[in-house]
Chains A and B, each alone.
Chain A
Amino acid sequence: MATILEKSGFNPDKKLKIVGSSPIKHDGIDKVTGRAKFGADMYLPGMLVGKILRSPHAHAIIKSIDISAAEKLPGVKAVICRDDFPEIKAGSADGDMTRNAMAREKALYDGHPVAAVAATSESIAKEALKLIKVEYEVLPHVIDPVEAMKPDAPILHDYLRTKGVKGADQPTNVVERYELGIGDVAAGFAEADVIVEREFDTKPMHQGYIEPQGCVASTTEDGQIELWCSTQAPWVYRDRLSNILKIETAKIRIQQSEMGGGFGGKTGFYPEPIAIQLSRKARRPVKIALTRNEVFRATGPVSGTKSRIKIGCKKDGTITAAEAELIFQTGPFTGSAFTNAPQAMFTRYALKNVKTVSYEVVSNRPKVNSFRAPCVPQVVFGVEGVIEELARKIGMDPIDFRLKNAATEGYKTIYGETFGPIGFVETLEAAKKCDHYRTPVPPGQGRGTASGFWFNRGGETTGTLNIGIDGSVTLILGTTDVAGSRISISMMAAEELGIPVDKVRAVMADTHSLGFNRVTAGSRTTFSTGMVIIDSARKAIAELCKRAAGLWGVSPDAVTFEDGYCKPAGANVGNFEPLSIAQIAAKTMATHGAIAGHSEMNVTGAGPGFGLHIVDVAVDQETGRVDIKRYTVVEDAGKAIHRLQVEGQFQGGAVQGIGWALNEEYCYGKDGRLENPSFLDYRMPVASDVPMIDTEIVEIPNPRHPYGLRGVGEVPVVPTMAAIANAIGQCIGVRPQSLPMSPPKLLKLIDDHKAKK
């Protein structure tokens, strides 16, 4: 694959006209007028309504399923269950995927799909669900991961043996034990003057996207499948659907809809394979739009965790060793991406001695899915609590403590990467200088800080740039636009071509129109697709120069491109008036046809991101209710392409973290059923719960990108819960170690602390 990385052309002195501004998003008008089409907004002639029957049991053997009565109900066109999916070996990646889409041997969580119906109306489909007879043998269940690790816990999968443990031959719920470290922690702790060790726990939280999963599947008699859906990963969906449904990828065409929020939660499918199988059986298009109840009961939350974290430092602040034991709940199937946590949790500090042991554990709750910086914020909640405690113990400002230990260029990380130019030190310095940190803590309030890191990602990416006959430009992008990547990428194309950004329009491709694109996740899209489109623009510019050379009768080498014009490279070339893109494009019929650029890469060179959050809180000491008074996010964006979008990412991460920190929690009954599957009782913050989130964009360029950018989607949530907990600790005298820091839990902490004094 071609790559421009080695010659990214990054030039810190280049004067930028478009990059760094904040133009109106091209998809913005559609979004605010309601014209944008989301997953559930597709209608096809003859379309049926699909509904899913879900297990009311957290853990049960499915002894039999009788769909005959449902099939006879007038208006019902198809009923499916496990028998309508190809058999795939349990315990394999595809085996897990098909079993999560439709239960086979067992139902493994409340809400697990067991059958589905397609009918001519929603009410008929609902009636038909009631006619499906499922015979269950209810088994003991386990919700909590620590309980699930106990020897006498109910076993979810007889075949499971712990990976990473020699000689593990007994059935278990522990999927994997993963050890990662550097140096010698015993020697490190021996050098420490102060050691702090604490235990923490966090709860699963839902990504909370406003748009529930929605899709329409349509199939033809010769086996072609079209799927319209809300997804962060059209190509990944296609390839996985191909694997579990045994259909060639060339026969599955997926068109992504607009994205009504994903945050990682739409990186894996839910109703899509069901809609396809219903459509194949009914020979009609089928729409399934999940309800919020279904979203909460059966789509991915993030992992809940238990952790023990120990850090030692010298009196001068130098950290000598760090150790962690981490447990991650993953739902009934592996896939939590938990190894991110030990790799990222301490990374930003130049540590020499680190030891981590991590476990991934299955239990009877919905399979977890990605969320911004998967598995990292949960453990940073603990790490940054210990960091602030150490700083206070040795009488050092917490930001100075972090500066003392900050990793810089050349530090070799625990996961093997050696940092290039990074902006952690600059981020910390910017935080110290910002108005919020310099303002004294208001009376009665507490202030906390916390820092975070995310790798940022690259990966397989494709894209095309087409120049129209009038010189305006269209882009064909594959990576889903979850948070404004379209406008940022259009801006980079415009910057390269020297044309106004309004002359550029991007469309989101279906999976037949471009080569494989990895999922939009890990803060990779504006970086990677931006890179591909810049490469495409440079290829198109080379072609423009060739066409100008042809029109002038000179060699292509004698033409340069500058600010949107092809010009003679020097005085000796001849006296030619510069030609604009539009002028050259107008002559494409007479030259060699359309001018375009296309690129595909496996993009590397993502620059790591670092952030520091500052938060002031007030706590009602009689009720335990927390009021977030002031919040500032300081983060290195490398280069902010679209400043407002970058600020929006910072703010959105902090807001989601505020919900996770304070109130978001799944309530399971003793029967293993979810009791709060609605936004009324699953308490995400509402607008009036959060203050305006202030932002400070630090720009330490990533030289491996033409404009220096770093991804900004993950870091903003990483430190949030830790910062809030640290602030609450300052307010009430004891630092909470368990999420959510909801009023009842906090009041108990306050009262217990008072009783001790």
Chain B
Amino acid sequence: MRSGGVTRVDVRYEAPETLQAAVALLASAGEPAKILAGGTDVIVQMETDLIEPALLVDIKKIPELRQIVAENGGFRIGAAVPGLTIMDHAALAKTWPGVLDGVKLIGSIQVRGRASIGGNLCNGSPAADSVPPLIAAGAIARIIGSKGTREVPVEKIPTAPGKTSLAKDEIIASFFLPPRAPHSGDAYQRFTPRTEMDIAVVGVGINLTLDSSGTCTAARVVLGAVAPTVLLSKECADALIGTKVDAAALDKLAAAASAACRPIDDKRGTKEYRIKIAGVLAKRTAQQALEVARKN
């Protein structure tokens, strides 16, 4: 029931064709509003009565949110580009295989036909599969609101389960993936009991760069589903930087990953189990990222 009335108002649906119009709609909305991209979270949450928005702003008709373009040696991915389109992008697949692995693990083929990385991030789940590799990649989100444009590292966006740092009238327009140094590689692995249609019990995204001798000079290690938000762990990165990513470094990484976890016991996994698996998975993901880096 809304605004003192006795009958329920049906949801108002708007599909603006410009970002400015979308922002204006959100800014002027007096009632709970939700941005709709693929809808694979929003529609499901409405169906199961978890949310009851009065206004849906569909952003799929805004052209710049639906395209992937090369920019300054990197890539700009529209926030509402569906997962399958990202997976089909050959240059992205070559440069950022870890980001693509994250996208590939979202839901099922049908879900990926709709779901976007913008939605995956804004849903605010610490278990979102595309978020750890985006953060590991150093992706920057471009946010448009009534007050203008902000460029924000992805790790600054989730603040708590289901919550983000976006204002009511702000929309993520795109993500920028920076250019790569030689001998760089990224990877994302997650653990789920099932092969697909499942939510990560633990996810690990790692992006690293080697020098010509094979020593790790830079690393970003990101843990998903082990804390209220996705974690960018400096301790994990430090375990790799300056090493050849050998067995000793991997053990140190595993220990750092387990130590960084602040998980909960829930229906998707126990605390104890998540802590153990974070270590196992960090190792496996680092090995995969290392192989990619050696080839580049």
Contact = CB atoms under 8 A, between A and B. Distances in A.
Interface string A221-256: 000000000000000000000000000000000000
B273 A686 contact: no
A681 B192 CA distance: 11
Contacts of B273: 743-744, 747
B193 A742 contact: yes
Given A130-B1, A744-B270, A683 B193 contact: yes
A683 B7 contact: no
Contacts of B108: 686
B191 A680 contact: no
Nearest to A674: B267
A650 to B, nearest CB: 22
B6 A683 contact: no
Contacts of A123: 8, 10
B71 interface: no
B193 A74 contact: no
B129 to A, nearest CB: 14
A675 B8 contact: no
Nearest to A679: B197
Contact of A686 (B6, B195, B268): B195
B277 A623 contact: yes
Interface in B138-196: 191, 193-196
Interface of B is mostly: loop
Contacts of B198: 680, 683, 686
A127 B8 contact: yes
A291 B48 contact: yes
Nearest to B269: A744
Q: Among the interface residues A127, A291, A744, which one has the most CB atoms of the partner chain B within 10 A?
A: A744
B276 interface: yes
Contacts of B191: 623, 625, 743
Contacts of A688: 195-196
A127 B7 contact: yes
A114 to B, nearest CB: 17
B3 to A, nearest CB: 13
B183 to A, nearest CB: 28
Interface in A91-140: 123-124, 126-127, 130
Nearest to B277: A623
Contacts of A556: none
B88 interface: no
B7 A75 contact: yes
Interface string B265-281: 01111101100110010
Given A622-B280, A683-B193, A124 B199 contact: no
Interface string B237-272: 000000000000000000000000000001111101
Interface in B100-116: 108
Nearest to B2: A127
A676 interface: yes
Given A73-B6, A675-B266, A663 B193 contact: yes
Interface in A658-688: 662-663, 667, 675-676, 678-681, 683, 685-686, 688
Contacts of A680: 197-199
Contacts of A66: none
Contact of B196 (A75, A662, A663, A686): A686
Nearest to A669: B267
Nearest to B284: A622
Contact of B1 (A127, A622, A678): A127
Interface string B27-51: 0000000000000000000011100
Contacts of A686: 108, 194-198
Chain B, interface size category, equals 20 to 34
A676 B7 contact: no
A126 B49 contact: yes
A191 interface: no
Nearest to B281: A623
Nearest to A130: B1
Nearest to B195: A688
A583 interface: no
Chain A, interface size category, equals 20 to 34
A74 B194 contact: no
Contact of B267 (A293, A679, A681, A685): A681
B216 to A, nearest CB: 23
B196 A681 contact: no
Nearest to B272: A744
A316 interface: no
Contacts of A685: 194
Contacts of A291: 47-48
Nearest to B47: A291
B280 A623 contact: yes
B266 A743 contact: no
A747 B198 CA distance: 19
A689 interface: yes
A682 B7 CA distance: 35
Contact of B7 (A74, A625, A663, A742): A74
A738 to B, nearest CB: 15
Interface string A625-643: 1000000000000000000
A389 to B, nearest CB: 27
A676 B270 contact: no
B167 to A, nearest CB: 29
A75 B7 CA distance: 8
Contacts of B195: 686, 688-689
A681 B269 CA distance: 10
A244 to B, nearest CB: 30
A667 B265 CA distance: 11
Nearest to B48: A293
Nearest to A292: B48
A724 to B, nearest CB: 14
A75 B199 CA distance: 39
B193 to A, nearest CB: 5
A657 to B, nearest CB: 16
Contacts of B193: 625, 662-663, 683, 742-743
A679 B199 CA distance: 11
Nearest to A627: B195
Q: Among the interface residues A73, A124, A623, A747, which one has the most CB atoms of the partner chain B within 10 A?
A: A623
A71 to B, nearest CB: 12
Contacts of A124: 7-8
Contacts of B1: 127, 130
Interface in B45-94: 47-49
Contacts of B270: 744
Contacts of A675: 266-267
A73 to B, nearest CB: 6
A494 to B, nearest CB: 39
Interface string A67-78: 000000111000
Nearest to A662: B193
B194 A667 contact: no
A404 B195 CA distance: 40
A73 B7 contact: yes
A168 to B, nearest CB: 38
B32 to A, nearest CB: 15
A678 B1 CA distance: 26
Interface in A604-655: 622-623, 625
B194 A683 contact: yes
Interface of B: 1, 6-8, 10, 47-49, 108, 191, 193-199, 201, 266-270, 272-273, 276-277, 280
Q: Top 8 closest A-B pairs, CB basis? A: A744-B273, A667-B267, A688-B195, A123-B8, A676-B267, A622-B280, A675-B267, A663-B193
27 contacts: A74-B6, A123-B10, A124-B7, A127-B1, A625-B191, A625-B193, A663-B193, A663-B194, A675-B266, A675-B267, A676-B267, A678-B48, A680-B197, A680-B198, A681-B199, A683-B194, A686-B108, A686-B194, A686-B195, A686-B196, A686-B197, A688-B195, A743-B193, A743-B273, A744-B269, A744-B270, A747-B273
Given A126-B49, A689-B194, A744-B270, 14 more contacts: A73-B7, A75-B7, A124-B7, A126-B8, A291-B48, A623-B191, A623-B277, A681-B199, A681-B267, A686-B194, A686-B196, A688-B195, A688-B196, A747-B276
